[in-house]
Amino acid sequence: MYIVMISSECAPVAKVGGLGDVVQGLSRELALRGNNVEIILPKYDCMRHDRISDLNKVYEGLWVPFYDRWIHCDVYSGTVDHLKCLFIEPHSEHNFFNRGIFYGNYDDAARFAFFSRAALELMLKTNRHPDIIHCHDWQTGLVPVLLFEIYQRLGMSHPRVCYTLHNVGHQGVTGVHILKQVGLNQNHLFTADRLKDHTYNNAINLMKGGIVFSNFVTTVSPTYANEIHYTELGKGLQTTLQQHSGKFGGVLNGIDYSVWNSEIDPLVPHQYGVHTLNEKVKNKTALRERLMLQPDFKPIIAVVSRLDAQKGTHLILHSIFYALQNRAQFVLLGSASEPHINAQFWDVKRRVNDNPDCHLELSYNEELAHLIYAGADMILIPSIYEPCGLTQLIGLKYGTVPIVRRTGGLADTVFDANYSDRPFEERNGYVFNDLDNQALESALSRALGLWYKYPRYFRQLQESGMNQDYSWNYSGNHYLNIYNFIKA
């Protein structure tokens, strides 16, 4: 099958969070199964150029309509981890992708609406006729709309579109003028059953457009699919999802075990697996040395996360002090885009700066993330909502016991050591329900208690997690079934 991914992220070249990992991991799985996969991305100035090989200009003079003019683009081809990527580079005074950041500009909606149109224009001009176009999140929500409204008539009548919602917390709510900018008919599309936003009367919703116009819609775990379908976690999209429930389902994300695997991870100083778990402690020592924590007989609790309110930042802050008062060390790697959250964490960082049991690294650092997964004993994910979550899956593979709130994909993948109704060998972590300090503390204290008092059982919990398979094997198959279903 010929599959084109259109995405704003792909790890490791352009990654902000899980979206980048998923596009890379799923594409790799599909390619390994013999499918022809191409990924179309913006050519950001800030992407990791060192992770792209054979970057070559392959198309000059792609002219993309934008408002009342045409913007000239060049297209580059390159290989990222054996995957073929096409990078679109527009040349105009807007400087759409030369901003030094991936997201966070006042005109993000226009930047990615333009990218969506450019991706389709590229496929048309280069005679690409994929069986499936798979697009992701609000940034590419206009792709199926443009395909249906414009490009089908221009000859692209074959492709079917699968659209994945990675996080409905960001829906691309923007002004109606965006439709005109990319050549779409405002009167026809600005209606309640098409792109009109459910909350803001004068706005359109790009994610809603993606849901309405694509052939199949997925989200990244079965529990999150239920939550956004039936509860306020749908953030206003419940009605649209209910209207389109016949083409909607949850497919659990996997992780790429060629990247996230403690047995072969080149960024882990002492590689180890389930049969060589004793080696893990050497990484704990390496982590302590790197972050200047004192050597001591204490477990390390880690957080690796975007510091966004969604991630339960109030609970993360509380857990730092709880850990320090309860004979644990604490390591955090996180970056905040909201200034007030950033300020909160910097404030705490200053307060704990001299504490030899604690280190807060307030940045984005791929290499350090790998060392933390390998060196920590437990990983904490107290999210308010979590569509799938990858850090608990990585933690499981690295024998780092997850402590999570029961929501979304966390509920689908972490099973409580004491209270789960699963067989003992499937239990792999600690789970709490409520969003308050007591619930968090009770899970943390059970995990710390096991580590101190029953190390043999703690090790069993680690081994159970390491033995579970959260690779793309199963989910890759699931996506192929969906592609075949909509292609038929």
Q: Angle at CA 478, nearest 5°, toward 474 and 479?
A: 120
Nearer to ligand ADP, 210 or 334 (CB): 334
Judged by CB under 6 A, which stretch of 16-24, 182-190, 287-295, 411-419 contacts ligand ADP? 16-24
304 binds ligand ADP (CB under 6 A): yes
Number of residues that bind ligand ADP (CB under 6 A): 18
Nearer to ligand ADP, 162 or 220 (CB): 220
Task: Classify 454 as helix, strand or coil.
Answer: coil
Give the amino acid at 317: L
Judged by CB under 6 A, which stretch of 75-83, 157-165, 292-300, 358-366 contacts ligand ADP? 358-366
Separation of CA 168 from chain center:
12
Q: How far is the CB of 373 from ligand ADP (least distance, A)?
A: 7
The DSSP call for residue 74 is E
Q: How far is the CB of 440 from ligand ADP (least distance, A)?
A: 18
According to CB under 6 A, which residues from 20 to 39 bind ligand ADP? 21
Q: How far is the CB of 403 from ligand ADP (least distance, A)?
A: 14
Q: State how far the Cα of 444 lies from the Cα of 442, in Å rounded to an integer.
A: 6
Taking CB under 6 A as the rule, which mask of x and - marks residues 78-107 in contact with ligand ADP? Answer: ------------------------------
* Of the candidate residues 261, 335, 355, 420, the single one contacting ligand ADP (CB under 6 A): 335
Separation of CA 196 from chain center:
26
Q: State how far the Cα of 46 lies from the Cα of 20, in Å rounded to an integer.
A: 15
Locate 341 and state its tokens: 């959250």
Cα within 13 Å of Cα(119), Cβ side = 33
Nearer to ligand ADP, 306 or 318 (CB): 306
* Of the candidate residues 333, 378, 410, 431, the single one contacting ligand ADP (CB under 6 A): 333
Judged by CB under 6 A, which stretch of 15-23, 58-66, 275-283, 352-360 contacts ligand ADP? 15-23
Task: Classify 413 as helix, strand or coil.
Answer: helix
Judged by CB under 6 A, which stretch of 39-47, 69-77, 96-104, 385-393 contacts ligand ADP? 385-393
Nearer to ligand ADP, 287 or 388 (CB): 388
* Of the candidate residues 141, 209, 312, 334, the single one contacting ligand ADP (CB under 6 A): 334
Nearer to ligand ADP, 151 or 260 (CB): 260
Burial of 258 (0-12, 13-18, 19+ CB in 10 A): middle
Locate 359 and state its tokens: 């280190």
Q: How far is the CB of 278 from ligand ADP (least distance, A)?
A: 25
Cβ–Cβ < 8 Å for 348, 379:
no
* Of the candidate residues 232, 366, 426, 469, the single one contacting ligand ADP (CB under 6 A): 366
365 binds ligand ADP (CB under 6 A): yes
* Of the candidate residues 71, 252, 384, 390, the single one contacting ligand ADP (CB under 6 A): 390
CB atoms within 10 A of CB 322: 19
The DSSP call for residue 308 is -
Q: What is the DSSP string of 147-158?
A: IIIIITTTT--S
Judged by CB under 6 A, which stretch of 107-115, 298-306, 316-324, 473-481 contacts ligand ADP? 298-306
What number of helices (H) and strands (E) belong to the chain?
Answer: 17, 17
**Among the listed residues 15, 23, 57, the one whose alpha carbon sits nearest the alpha carbon of residue 40:** 23
Nearer to ligand ADP, 3 or 19 (CB): 19
Q: How far is the CB of 391 from ligand ADP (least distance, A)?
A: 4
Locate 191 and state its tokens: 């209606």
Q: State how far the Cα of 141 lies from the Cα of 135, in Å rounded to an integer.
A: 7
**In this structure, what are the phi and psi dihedrals at residue 317, rounded to the nearest 5 degrees?**
-60, -45
Nearer to ligand ADP, 184 or 220 (CB): 220
Judged by CB under 6 A, which stretch of 48-56, 88-96, 285-293, 299-307 contacts ligand ADP? 299-307
Nearer to ligand ADP, 123 or 331 (CB): 331
Judged by CB under 6 A, which stretch of 57-65, 148-156, 192-200, 363-371 contacts ligand ADP? 363-371
Name the residue number minimizing CB distance to ligand ADP: 18
**Among the listed residues 384, 377, 376, the one whose alpha carbon sits nearest the alpha carbon of residue 404:** 384
* Of the candidate residues 84, 99, 244, 306, the single one contacting ligand ADP (CB under 6 A): 306
Locate 382 and state its tokens: 């107290």
Q: State how far the Cα of 311 lies from the Cα of 169, in Å rounded to an integer.
A: 12
* Of the candidate residues 17, 183, 236, 273, the single one contacting ligand ADP (CB under 6 A): 17
Q: How far is the CB of 170 from ligand ADP (least distance, A)?
A: 10
Q: State how far the Cα of 262 lies from the Cα of 280, in Å rounded to an integer.
A: 9
The DSSP call for residue 247 is G
Which run of H or E residues covers position 160? strand 160-165
Q: Angle at CA 38, nearest 5°, toward 33 and 40?
A: 150
* Of the candidate residues 139, 215, 218, 305, the single one contacting ligand ADP (CB under 6 A): 305
* Residues near ligand ADP (CB under 6 A): 17-19, 21, 304-306, 333-335, 364-366, 369, 388-391
